[in-house]
């Protein structure tokens, strides 16, 4: 699993418990909090480098304590996660792990996952959850896996034809016209590849079970 991500954005979902997202948080050079996640980070024993969003969920006490690192954006066309990503990209923080973006409202979770296809146009962004990693691809790729690793493929748009290698349930110039169609697949070995000319494809790689 890649570890060269210097910036973590902590969203206001469920705080991680799995070792991989927790290690990203512990090893980050900087942690940018969406305003509702600040207290969770403090409870974990760390402090935010910056707090970005509309700041409507931040307590008066925390607003005073961290007044020097609050960056308010009241624009209502985007959510707090997007505001935090934009803030990072604007400052050249281009290797980003998003954590804490799932686990509460399902509509927020779906929205946050789909937004990866937008963020990755401008930076190297992944999402780490308690079960795996979401990554975005715009062209054909190969990725390291392990035998039996569960993999799900989500295509943003209905016209992308995808051909796979190394998956238990192969794709052959398949158009994934609904998100369920590419889910619950499985790696046969140590590498999988997807071949497609262009598109926006989000792939979920499930973690190996922790002992």
> What digits encode the pLDDT tens for the residues 180-208?
999 999 999 999 999 998 899 999 999 98
pLDDT category, 1, cuts 50, 70, 90?
Answer: very low
In a domain, 49, yes or no: yes
Are residues 76 and 28 located together in one domain of the fold?
A: yes
Give the distance, in angstroms, between the CA of residue 184 and the centroid of all CA atoms in the same chain.
19
Lowest mean pLDDT among 1-5, 9-13, 89-93: 1-5
Report the percentage of the chain scoring pLDDT > 90. Answer: 82
Are residues 117 and 167 located together in one domain of the fold?
A: no
Supply the angle between the helices 80-90 and 106-119 in degrees, to the nearest 10.
20
pLDDT number for residue 115: 94
Q: Which of the listed residues 72, 106, 130 is the one where a domain comes to its end? A: 130
In a domain, 85, yes or no: yes
Q: How many domains does the chain have?
A: 2
pTM of the model: 0.93
Expressed as residue numbers, the domain containing 73 is: 7-130
Q: Which of the listed residues 80, 104, 130 is the one where a domain comes to its end? A: 130
Q: Residue 126's CB: how many other CB atoms inside 10 A? A: 21
Task: Flag whether pLDDT at 170 surpasses 90.
Answer: yes
Could you tell me the CATH number of the domain that includes residue 105?
3.40.50.10240
Task: Flag whether pLDDT at 2 surpasses 80.
Answer: no
Q: Which of the listed residues 66, 101, 130 is the one where a domain comes to its end? A: 130
pLDDT number for residue 211: 53
- Give phi and psi for 203, each to the nearest 5: -120, 135
Judged on CB neighbours under 10 Å (0-12, 13-18, 19+), 46 is middle
In a domain, 179, yes or no: yes
Are residues 81 and 115 located together in one domain of the fold?
A: yes
Are residues 150 and 99 located together in one domain of the fold?
A: no
Greatest alpha-carbon span in the chain: 57
Task: Flag whether pLDDT at 76 surpasses 80.
Answer: no
Judged on CB neighbours under 10 Å (0-12, 13-18, 19+), 199 is buried
pLDDT category, 110, cuts 50, 70, 90?
Answer: very high
In a domain, 1, yes or no: no
Are residues 181 and 78 located together in one domain of the fold?
A: no
Span 146-171, average pLDDT: 95
Are residues 144 and 65 located together in one domain of the fold?
A: no
Are residues 169 and 142 located together in one domain of the fold?
A: yes
Instruction: Dump pLDDT digits (tens) for 125-136.
Output: 999 999 999 999
pLDDT category, 56, cuts 50, 70, 90?
Answer: confident
Could you tell me the CATH number of the domain that includes residue 198?
2.60.120.320
Are residues 122 and 152 located together in one domain of the fold?
A: no
Contact 32, 51 (CB under 8 A): yes
């Amino acid at each position: 699993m890649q570890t060269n991500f210097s910036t973590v954005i902590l969203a206001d979902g469920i705080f991680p418990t799995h070792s991989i997202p927790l290690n990203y948080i512990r090893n980050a050079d900087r942690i940018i909090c969406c305003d509702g996640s600040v207290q969770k980070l403090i409870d974990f024993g760390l402090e935010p480098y910056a707090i970005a969003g509309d700041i409507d969920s931040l307590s008066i006490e925390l607003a005073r304590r961290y007044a020097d690192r609050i960056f308010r954006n009241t624009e209502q066309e985007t959510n707090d996660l997007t505001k935090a990503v934009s803030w990072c990209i604007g400052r050249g923080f281009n290797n980003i792990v998003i954590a804490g973006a799932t686990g509460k409202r399902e509509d927020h979770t779906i929205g946050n996952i789909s937004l990866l296809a937008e963020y990755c146009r401008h930076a190297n962004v992944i999402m780490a959850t308690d079960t795996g990693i979401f990554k975005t691809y715009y062209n054909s790729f190969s990725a390291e896996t392990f035998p039996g690793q569960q993999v799900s493929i989500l295509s943003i748009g209905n016209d992308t034809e995808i051909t796979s290698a190394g998956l238990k349930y192969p794709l052959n110039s398949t158009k994934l016209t609904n998100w369920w169609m590419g889910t619950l697949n499985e790696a046969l070995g140590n590498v999988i590849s997807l071949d497609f000319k262009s598109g926006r494809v989000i792939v979920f790689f499930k973690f190996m079970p922790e002992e």
